[in-house]
């Protein structure tokens, strides 16, 4: 005899993974598919994105979709959010995995340094633009962070345009900017059923930070000793799906161990400055936190 659950099966969870065409993002997508999720990959290049989606055949490519989106300018991030809202009737998991470790200072169409946009402003704007979908499902938001944030120096006057650019430290600076706002989002969403946490997945062998020349060859040799993207995907997927991490919000995890933020990332006054600045740079208005939307 059929029961209500078999007549009306619960919909699969929908998970969005930015930078899902390679590295940790691709490995996370595979894990989420194995767990029964519908997965939406966000990738800048359509051809590479389709190839990544097709390569998930063994883990359920039929449940993997692609949204082409560039996260290097405010205009493109907003367009990506619109494409995701159109493609996804619901979002249960949002994983901010896309990241950029630049070797040169490059300013985008906004006059902003590109890694500042990709690593910091893009997650901030996506969180706001997708907020109605996130609150409707009580979503989990996971920010892939980096332990190097402790070396960061977030300067609201210089970091956005790369006036303090450094080929190593700028990555740490922009990751620190992003991490400073995770507790702010947790506070914003505390009554809306949405959780947000950051995780450093370990030192993982990906293409992030690859360089040309002798330094690039040396880095590739060193990376052979680092752990695989599949290993890095495990703590990210755990925050996205595991029962033991449900309800936690505004936390930072080093792999699977929760850790307090270092003092450099716990500066409330700096976080307030960065939040206000991000609102201005993305053209968002100051809005009250959303109310909880319970879904049957």
Q: What are the sequence ranges of the domains in the chain? A: 10-282
Distances (CA, A) of 115 to 154, 171, 176, 248: 13, 7, 12, 28
What the block records as the tokens of 162 is: 């790369």
Q: What does the pLDDT profile of the chain (296 residues) look like in tens digits?
A: 344 333 444 568 999 999 989 888 899 999 999 999 999 999 999 999 999 999 986 655 568 999 999 999 999 999 999 999 999 999 999 999 999 888 899 999 999 999 999 999 999 999 999 999 999 999 999 999 988 899 999 999 999 999 999 988 999 999 999 999 999 999 999 999 999 999 998 765 455 545 455 545 454 544 444 567 677 888 999 999 989 999 999 999 999 899 999 999 999 999 999 999 999 999 998 777 676 554 43
C-alpha torsion angle, residues 159, 125, 123, 130 (rounded to 10): 180
The β-bridge partners of 14 are 38
What the block records as the tokens of 112 is: 């902003």
Q: Please tell me the number of Cα atoms within 13 Å of 196 on its side-chain side.
A: 27
- In the 8-state DSSP scheme, what is residue 292? P
User: Helix %, strand %, coil % for the chain, to 5?
Assistant: 45, 15, 40
φ and ψ at 210, to 5 degrees?
Answer: -60, 145
CATH class, domain 10-282, is: alpha beta
User: Is 252 labeled as catalytic in the residue annotation?
Assistant: no
Among residues 171, 185, 252, 253, the one annotated as catalytic is 171
- In the 8-state DSSP scheme, what is residue 11? P
Q: What is the pTM of this model?
A: 0.88
What the block records as the tokens of 200 is: 């450093």
What the block records as the tokens of 183 is: 């507790």
What the block records as the tokens of 53 is: 């989606």
Helices (H), 189-267: 213-223, 229-241
């Amino acid at each position: 005899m059929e029961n209500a659950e078999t007549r009306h099966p619960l919909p699969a969870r929908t998970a969005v993974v930015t930078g899902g065409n390679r590295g940790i993002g691709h490995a996370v997508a595979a894990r989420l598919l194995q767990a029964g999720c519908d997965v939406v990959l966000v990738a800048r290049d359509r051809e590479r994105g389709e190839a990544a989606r097709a390569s998930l055949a063994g883990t359920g490519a039929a449940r993997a979709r692609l949204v082409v989106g560039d996260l290097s300018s405010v205009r493109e991030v907003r367009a990506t959010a619109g494409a995701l809202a159109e493609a996804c009737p619901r979002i249960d998991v949002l994983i901010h995995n896309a990241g950029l470790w630049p070797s040169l200072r490059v300013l985008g169409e906004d006059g902003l340094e590109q890694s500042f946009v990709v690593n910091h402003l893009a997650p901030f704007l996506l969180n706001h633009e997708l907020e109605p979908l996130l609150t409707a499902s009580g979503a989990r938001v996971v920010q892939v962070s980096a332990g190097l944030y402790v070396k960061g120096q977030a300067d609201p006057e210089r970091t956005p345009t790369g006036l303090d650019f450094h080929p190593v430290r700028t990555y740490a600076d922009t990751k620190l900017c992003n991490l400073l706002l995770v507790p702010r989002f947790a506070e914003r969403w505390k009554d809306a059923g949405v959780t947000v946490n950051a995780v450093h997945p370990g030192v993982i062998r990906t293409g992030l930070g690859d360089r040309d020349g002798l330094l690039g060859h040396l880095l590739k040799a060193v990376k052979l000793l680092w752990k695989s993207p599949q290993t890095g995907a495990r703590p990210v997927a755990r925050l996205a799906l595991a029962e033991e991490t449900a309800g936690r919000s505004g936390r930072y995890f080093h792999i699977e161990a929760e850790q307090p933020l270092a003092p450099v990332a716990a500066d409330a006054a700096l976080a307030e400055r960065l939040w206000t600045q991000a609102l201005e740079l993305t053209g968002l208005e100051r809005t009250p936190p959303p109310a909880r939307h319970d879904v049957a």
